[in-house]
Amino acid sequence: MKLYYFAGTCSLAAHIVAREAGIALDLERVDIHKTPHMTASGANFSQINSKGYVPALQLDDGSLLSEGAVIVQYLADLNPESGLIPPVGTMERYRAQSWLNFIATELHKLYSPWLFHPEYGETIQHIVRDKIAGRLALVENHLTEQGPYLTGEQFTAADA
Ligand SMILES: N[C@@H](CCC(=O)N[C@@H](CS)C(=O)NCC(=O)O)C(=O)O
């Protein structure tokens, strides 16, 4: 399996989960600062992932799996003994998925495009910064009260 990644982005979570699960991945860097995004081996990344973003996981049958919250679950499920994700169908699994969805939609996506586009102006930047601070405070309170990890005692893919 090959993980398409870019350092310092959300693709790090998939890499962490793979390492924690003891899964050896091939890694290929995608320069997301270049237009078009190019892979380290010189391919136009949009030909590999039409969504154009990392992470993307190329499975051994050649097919592609995208969306970080799903990739980390796939990797964790390959090694259930790792405890990186609770078993399918349990309430604990839904709790981990609830965090994964919150992080993907309510946290991660608040950072873009507003924060990286000064042309949208100061007002929107302030509004989004306040929203992000509120959501991070929510996570911090939860970890303080029910941690040390998001779902309690066990580090899961959601923490990654
Ligand atoms: N919905 C995707 C979003 C992934 C995403 O936003 N990736 C960013 C890095 S954190 C990226 O590759 N951006 C490049 C681009 O959108 O062109 C997921 O949750 O995996």
The reported pTM is 0.95
Task: Say which CATH architecture domain 2-81 belongs to.
Answer: 3-Layer(aba) Sandwich (3.40)
107 in ligand 1 pocket by Cβ < 6 Å?
no
Judge if the beta carbon of residue 158 lies within 6 A of ligand 1: no
Q: What is the pLDDT of residues 104-153, one digit of tens each?
A: 999 999 887 677 777 888 888 888 899 999 999 999 999 999 999 999 99
Under 8 Å between Cβ of 49 and 4? yes
Ligand 1 pocket member 53 (CB < 6 A): yes
Residue 117 pLDDT: 75
pLDDT at 18: 98
Question: Could you report the per-residue pLDDT of 39-92, keeping only the tens digit for each?
Answer: 999 999 999 999 999 999 999 999 999 999 999 999 999 999 999 999 999 999
Domain locations in the chain as residue ranges: 2-81, 86-146
For ligand 1, say whether the CB of 54 is within 6 Å of any of its atoms: yes
Predicted local confidence at residue 140, as pLDDT? 98
Between the alpha carbon of residue 140 and those of residues 46, 133, 136, the distances in Å are: 36, 10, 6
- Check if 2-81 and 86-146 are the same fold: no
Q: How far is the CA of 54 from the centre of ligand 1 (A)?
A: 5
Residue of 3, 49, 54 best suited for mutating to test ligand 1, as the one with most atoms within 8 Å of CB? 54
Distance from first CA to last CA of the chain, Å, rounded? Answer: 19
CATH of domain 86-146: 1.20.1050.10
| Cα–Cα distance for residue pair 137/146, rounded to 1 Å | 14
**Does 148 sit behind a cis peptide bond, omega within 30 degrees of 0 on the bond before it?**
yes
pLDDT value of residue 63: 98
- pLDDT of the residue at 108: 93
Q: Which of 103, 102, 98, 66 is CA-nearest to residue 85?
A: 98
State whether the beta carbon of 9 lies less than 6 angstroms from ligand 1. Answer: yes
